Amino acid sequence: MESLESELQRARDLSVSVLADAIESIGFECTRCGACCKAETCGGGEDGESGNSETDPHTATIFPDEIRTIQESGDYDFRDVARPMPYGLTEGDNGPEGETFEWALQTDDCGDCTFYEETTTDEGVQGACTVHEDRPLVCQTYPFSVALGGTSQPMGEAVDSAGPAVSGTEGTDEDESADSDGLVRAHECEGLGRDISRAEAEQLADALKERAIRELEEAIAVRDGYEPVETSPGEVVVHDSEGTKRPDGTPMNR
Ligand code: SF4
């Protein structure tokens, strides 16, 4: 497996034009269905006994500087914007506990992203992001991801892919080959397959490249700065690229 540093170099060498070609060939237009901003189910599925829903809360990675940008945009507290990513935490007697390595966008009581709002019109329900201008890279680039090691796949496994095959010099200007296991992965979304303009594909590709670079830079910084923490029952700590923090984002000095 490639080192994170090699993958970072590959991310920096990605050609925006090649990524845009792949996005164009898959096709995408946001239908504002809100599926990528909501919990898997809320008020819909039945659990059999009580009639309540089983909810799989929305989990989307947000970087530390992206949290600050949203905080400043609306005078939000840290916890209004982000929560510790639940992956890696265990359920103790006093709730989740342990160490985690990312922040996730904060969720509401339904498990939807806290910044998601729905309005009902004659045409049906339309979703909207209340922090659209400042939404994190993972939101700007959904439903796409780049198939490099150390980067994330939002909303589960890919349902499609396009672009150069994932080996050797893929994604650089030197490699124009196409392959079904391509460099650009597409994840579940009802807007896939719709026409996209070249300008929009390039804008998406640019953000996709930036996200891949940022994810790898973050992963390297977390790895290099990691010092294990003995957590107390009910305690959660988050190791991010800036150090070890409490769930409210304040640094821990132990
Ligand atoms: S920040 Fe906006 S785009 Fe991202 S998940 Fe929340 S509502 Fe959706």
The model's pLDDT over 78-124, given as tens digits with 9 standing for 90+, comes to: 999 999 999 989 998 888 999 999 999 999 999 999 999 998 888 88
Determine the pLDDT at residue 46. Answer: 40
- CA gap 187, 175 in Å, rounded: 24
Domain ranges of the chain: 4-245
Q: Quick one: pLDDT at residue 48?
A: 37
Return the residue whose CA atom lies nearest to atom 5 of ligand 1: 37
Please, which contacts does 192-198 make with residues 24 or more away whose CB atoms are closer than 8 Å? 192/26, 192/27, 192/28, 192/143, 192/159, 192/160, 193/26, 193/27, 193/28, 194/27, 194/28, 194/29, 195/27, 195/29, 196/23, 196/24, 196/27, 196/28, 196/29, 198/20, 198/24
So what's the pLDDT on residue 120?
Answer: 87
Q: Which has the closest alpha carbon to 217: 245, 183, 250, 240?
A: 240
DSSP track, 12-55 = HH--HHHHHHHHHHH-B------GGGS-S-SSSS--SSS-PPP-
What is the pTM for the complete model shown? 0.86
Cα(90) to ligand 1 centroid in Å equals: 26
Distance of CA 199 to the CA centre of its chain: 23
Q: State residue 124's pLDDT score.
A: 83
In the reported structure, the alpha carbon of residue 70 is separated from the centroid of ligand 1 by a whole-number distance in angstroms of 11
CA 21 / ligand 1 centre spacing (Å): 26
Q: Which atom of ligand 1 is nearest to the CA of 70?
A: 1
Q: Which mutation among 83, 131, 140, 204 tests ligand 1's pocket best, with the greatest number of atoms within 8 A of CB?
A: 131
Give the residues surrounding ligand 1 with Cβ less than 6 Å away: 37, 60, 105, 113, 115-116, 129, 131, 135, 139
The one-letter amino acid at 153: Q
Span from the CA of 147 to the centroid of ligand 1 (angstroms)? 23
CA 65–ligand 1 middle distance (angstroms): 16
CA distance 98 to 87: 10
Q: Provide block-wise average pLDDT over 10 residues at a time, the chain (254 residues).
A: 88 97 97 91 44 73 97 95 94 91 95 94 87 96 90 79 71 41 92 97 97 96 93 94 96 78
Q: Tell me, what DSSP letter sits at residue 235?
A: -
